[in-house]
Structure 1
């Protein structure tokens, strides 16, 4: 429709409904000359945060890696930006895991190795992703041995000088130094990979709290545990790998090169037992399949922390629970509050209209 398909070399086939958003849509397109398929991301200029998109384009033009979703071309019109992206059709990481009958530590190790190789490449090119999380990890195709692809570089940063200060990311995956409003480095990506590894082996996140204040405090102090029975069958090598990735001190935290040399990644220490039942059950309880949401931006987190005057002191201990609490519980509370506000508005509107009708009936 309209001027969306502005390049005659591309033939539109169908919208990809899964990626339809408020300001962008993604279409499956075919290059007329070669017959190759691509994903055309159409972004509305109106109400768009231009700096994020411009930054993403600048980063994508600079990199090319087998495990990074590539930018093939870029166009611009009066109303839209158009990004011709490499077509990645295998689905999100967690969806694929939940659809499997067999899933092992070795499978998780292979996934993390590919992520590490891609992030190592980014770091070598002075690029920090800053928003690594499972929903940004996609399978290239539906084939069983398809490779993992990293996507969404909207928050990435070309850190030629190595140090950054802007708070950004997703709280469940963001490093302590970001929440503490300290200058940070590429080590924040390694922290995020540690969180992802933890989830891949248990089905739930290492930092979970219904209360935001306690959640942020736990992240900043790197307070997590390997709960029984979920971690009973997981190798000590995997736990050691996670400990090095979730190291609070960024200077002591594993780099991507160190992580790639760990026995759990390159050796035979990863167990080959099927853990799909325990991991799958926890994933379904904690995360809604195909409903991953970007939670509040870390900038909002920092402002909330200022309002709450969060200190490093230990908060009141929560009551022990037999199983991990849902990570996004607070979002459900927010939705409930919004619903109540809408109901209250409708009730007041109904009462007002009723009064108007009575007045008309009595006096007109």
Structure 2
């Protein structure tokens, strides 16, 4: 019988990989005592700054009820950083659309309504996500063979800029190609951008959900992309959804809807506010965690990590 692989904390067993990013992987893990499944994001030891930044932002949202992933535990060991989080069993929206089918307008509206609530909370707490996309929208519940409850995840690119803050354009190009707002592409240091980049990315994501495609051509130069962003493509959808998409995808961020403004649009009338299930809260109570960076050990060097592994084998 294959021996169960353990996480360094000895509280969880490590399961299969379910996602991979530029500097991290996400696996299923199981809390040994309760047998409850969670997700664990694993970052390399040298990503300590990114780890601390993401954890601090998640901690800021930890006690606010909203449709975003919550932390359960965190630790640093064997040259790696670990964030244990809620597990959304339905996978992500990108995989759903690619492997099954695009969403009906009704299902998309319900999903986007929840994401708008998540973004409104983030923005009002000074957090810009900067990487909203279907891969970072995970499905918690499915009803009538369509996603009915979703969560915003992966705050690895997010920044805390304060309620009225802005970010100066630089060469880092945050986000994912195809979901980046036009203002991000301006000359480095020439323009500030803010939470409007999340609304642009949400508009692109909503378009993808109901078409399975991207609204703007990515094959040319940056100049071609920016020109395409000024010409919203024709789409077979209701007039109400068309207006919503255009208001999210206004090239001028000053004319783009905010999350709170979008929530007032009539297509979202009568939809319920997000509420977290008692079961989810109970599962997270397994580990009441308070993040204290000073309490975390320093990441080991590569040499130290190799020595530790050799010691375990002997």
Q: In the superposition, relative to structure 1, how do residues 75 and 123 fare at CA in structure 2: closer, same or farther (>3 Å)?
A: same
Structure 2 match to 1:81:
81
Distance 2:177 2:131 in 1: 10
Q: In the superposition, relative to structure 1, how do residues 51 and 204 fare at CA in structure 2: closer, same or farther (>3 Å)?
A: same
Q: How big is the shift at 1:213?
A: 3.6
Q: Which has the larger radius of gyration?
A: 1
Q: CA RMSD in A?
A: 2.8
Distance 2:256 2:204 in 1: 13
Distance 1:245 1:22 in 2: 27
Q: In the superposition, relative to structure 1, how do residues 99 and 194 fare at CA in structure 2: closer, same or farther (>3 Å)?
A: same
Question: Where in structure 2 are the equivalents of 1:190-269 lying within 5 Å?
Answer: 190-218=199-227, 222-227=229-234, 231-232=235-236, 234-266=237-269
Q: In the superposition, relative to structure 1, how do residues 28 and 225 fare at CA in structure 2: closer, same or farther (>3 Å)?
A: closer
More strand by share: 2
Whether the aligned pair in 2 keeps the contact of 1:207 and 1:215 (CA below 8 Å) is: no
Distance 1:184 1:20 in 2: 28
Alignment partner for residue 189 of structure 1, among 198, 201, 206? Answer: 198
Structure 2 match to 1:112:
112
Structure 1 match to 2:30:
30
Tell me the secondary structure at the aligned position of residue 89 of structure 2. Answer: coil
Structure 1 match to 2:60:
62
Q: How big is the shift at 1:141?
A: 4.6
Distance 1:251 1:169 in 2: 20
Distance 2:37 2:270 in 1: 37
Q: How big is the shift at 1:216?
A: 3.1
Q: In the superposition, relative to structure 1, how do residues 62 and 105 fare at CA in structure 2: closer, same or farther (>3 Å)?
A: same
Task: Return the TM-score normalized by structure 2.
Answer: 0.73
Task: Return the TM-score normalized by structure 1.
Answer: 0.64
1:72-117 alpha-carbon deviations (Å, 9 max, x no partner): 1111125111111111221121332355578421111111111111
More helix by share: 1
Structure 2 match to 1:171:
177
Whether the aligned pair in 2 keeps the contact of 1:15 and 1:25 (CA below 8 Å) is: no
Whether the aligned pair in 2 keeps the contact of 1:68 and 1:149 (CA below 8 Å) is: yes
Is 1:147 the counterpart of 2:145? The answer is no
Q: How big is the shift at 1:66?
A: 3.8
Q: In the superposition, relative to structure 1, how do residues 73 and 98 fare at CA in structure 2: closer, same or farther (>3 Å)?
A: same
Tell me the secondary structure at the aligned position of residue 254 of structure 2. Answer: coil
Distance 2:39 2:180 in 1: 29
Higher relative contact order (CA 8 A, sep 6+): 2
Whether the aligned pair in 1 keeps the contact of 2:232 and 2:246 (CA below 8 Å) is: no
Whether the aligned pair in 2 keeps the contact of 1:30 and 1:38 (CA below 8 Å) is: yes
Q: In the superposition, relative to structure 1, how do residues 197 and 224 fare at CA in structure 2: closer, same or farther (>3 Å)?
A: farther
Structure 2 match to 1:41:
41
Q: In the superposition, relative to structure 1, how do residues 100 and 43 fare at CA in structure 2: closer, same or farther (>3 Å)?
A: closer
1:327-346 alpha-carbon deviations (Å, 9 max, x no partner): xxxxxxxxxxxxxxxxxxxx
Q: How many residue pairs get matched? A: 258
Q: In the superposition, relative to structure 1, how do residues 178 and 142 fare at CA in structure 2: closer, same or farther (>3 Å)?
A: same
Distance 1:22 1:135 in 2: 13
Q: In the superposition, relative to structure 1, how do residues 103 and 74 fare at CA in structure 2: closer, same or farther (>3 Å)?
A: closer
